[in-house]
Amino acid sequence: MRLLRNVALLVPAVRRLWDSRNCLLTERDALLTERDALLTEHNMEGRLKNDDEWFELQFRPEEALKKYGVMLPTLPSDEVQISFTGLCGRANLQQAFNFYRYICSVCQINDIREPRILDFGGGWGRVSRFFLRDTLPECIFISEVREYAIQCIRATGNRCQVIHNQPRPPILELTGLFDLVYAYSVFSHLSGEYVHAWINYLLGVLRPGGYLVFTTNGQQFIDNLEHLPLETNDPNLQELFRRLREDLPLPEEIRRRHLKGEFQFYPLGVGAELTSDFSGETLIPRSYIEKNFISFFVDFNENVPNVDQSVVVFQKPA
Ligand SMILES: C[S@@+](CC[C@H](N)C(=O)[O-])C[C@H]1O[C@@H](n2cnc3c(N)ncnc32)[C@H](O)[C@@H]1O
């Protein structure tokens, strides 16, 4: 190629050929951009507005591509999925989908053309895949503290912008401001210091009027603690249940503190990148949220269908 370029500089006929080749390449790029824009418009114009259809398409990626031009990432193995959320298959996606629908209903994200979205602690990309009908993959950022999670996202062929962040803010690779930042089951595992540091930081990367939506442990977590199974088939879950039984106070004590409005963090540290100085089980009651973040507070919902944690909604003042 270098030789051809050098010859092209010397011989006028070859140079003309070289120039027309470059023109064709530019034209091809323009056509590809136009095709992408048309596909986006095709989605945005509403053919993919049907929620049930969009959920079912997660299991029929060829149809999503053929009919709507949406290239869905693949799904990881059941084992990988369980290692993130204790669930797999349809039930796992259903939980993520219900969270996604709740976000859309509260934050009117569908009113924005190509919204910029950050999935903080995005795991293998379970939730972010649903936003692929609302915006372009390059407008979706997924950040993760664990190298393992980054590998899992990449293994699904996810085309969103994937960032490996440090346990503490900032996230240096982030560019521009976001319309929406969300985090499922991340603030249910961080210490008080980290929760405050990350909430303040994530509010800072929102545009005025943008939303921060996150989940944390609450009443449902305490109910589950009261009914932890003694036996499971999964050795990792078995070990987690043992630690929840042995390293945490009794459920009635946790409930008492929760109802009193206490922020509770129990360090459990479950891996090299999730050390016990900042990682464990966290419960944040509504009154604590209201007291500490009143100027951003929009909603606290413990009953989002299928979602096993409390969902908190903040909005950055416009
Ligand atoms: C229970 S998983 C949930 C994953 C994903 N949000 C989902 O709902 O499928 C929690 C994730 O948060 C990530 N995480 C924990 N602390 C983090 C931090 N400081 N920065 C980024 N990610 C973090 C963990 O690596 C883990 O993948």
Measuring from atom 2 of ligand 1, which residue has the nearest CA? 84
Quick one: what percent of the chain has pLDDT higher than 90?
A: 76
CA of 254 to the centre of ligand 1 (A): 23
Bridge partners for 266 per DSSP: 281
Asked whether the beta carbons of 257 and 264 are under 8 A apart, the reply is: yes
Cα 187 to chain centroid, rounded: 13
CA of 121 to the centre of ligand 1 (A): 3
Measuring from atom 13 of ligand 1, which residue has the nearest CA? 121
Average pLDDT over residues 111-135: 97
| Length of the chain, in residues | 318
Token digits of residue 244? 């929840």
**Pocket probe mutation, ligand 1, options 144, 148, 275, max atoms within 8 Å of Cβ:** 144
CA of 143 to the centre of ligand 1 (A): 9
Quick one: what percent of the chain has pLDDT higher than 70?
A: 92
**Stated pTM of the model:** 0.86
**Does residue 315 have a pLDDT over 60?**
yes
Distance CA 295, CA 256 (A): 27
Mean pLDDT (the chain, rounded): 91
Average pLDDT over residues 312-316: 98
Measuring from atom 11 of ligand 1, which residue has the nearest CA? 121
The tens digit of pLDDT for each residue in 207-216 reads 999 999 999 9
Among the atoms of ligand 1, which is closest to the Cα of residue 273? 25
Residues 6+ apart with CB under 8 A from 163: 141, 142, 143, 144, 171, 173, 174
Neighbours of 52 (CB within 10 A): 7
The three-class DSSP label of residue 44 is helix
Band (259; pLDDT cuts 50, 70, 90) = very high
Eight-class DSSP state of 46: I
The CA angle 111-109-290, to the nearest 5 degrees, is 130
Amino acid at 183: A
- E strand or H helix at 243: helix 235-247
Neighbours of 8 (CB within 10 A): 18
Average pLDDT over residues 13-18: 79
CA of 231 to the centre of ligand 1 (A): 26
CA of 86 to the centre of ligand 1 (A): 13
Between the alpha carbon of residue 17 and those of residues 11, 12, 20, 27, the distances in Å are 10, 9, 5, 15
CA of 63 to the centre of ligand 1 (A): 30
Pocket, ligand 1, Cβ cutoff 6 A: 84-85, 121-123, 126-127, 143-146, 149, 165, 167, 184-186, 189
Eight-class DSSP state of 125: T
Distance CA 107, CA 298 (A): 10
- Can you count the helices (H) and strands (E) in the chain? 12, 9
CA of 5 to the centre of ligand 1 (A): 49
* Strands (DSSP E) found in 94-253: 117-120, 140-144, 161-164, 178-183, 206-216
Residue 114 region by backbone torsions, left for phi larger than 0, else alpha for psi between -120 and 50, else beta: left
The CA angle 62-184-145, to the nearest 5 degrees, is 90
Among the atoms of ligand 1, which is closest to the Cα of residue 85? 1
- E strand or H helix at 80: helix 78-85
The tens digit of pLDDT for each residue in 208-254 reads 999 999 999 999 999 999 999 888 888 888 888 999 999 999 999 99
Distance CA 115, CA 121 (A): 19
Distance CA 101, CA 31 (A): 34
Q: Which of 86, 124, 61 is nearest to 270 (CA)?
A: 86
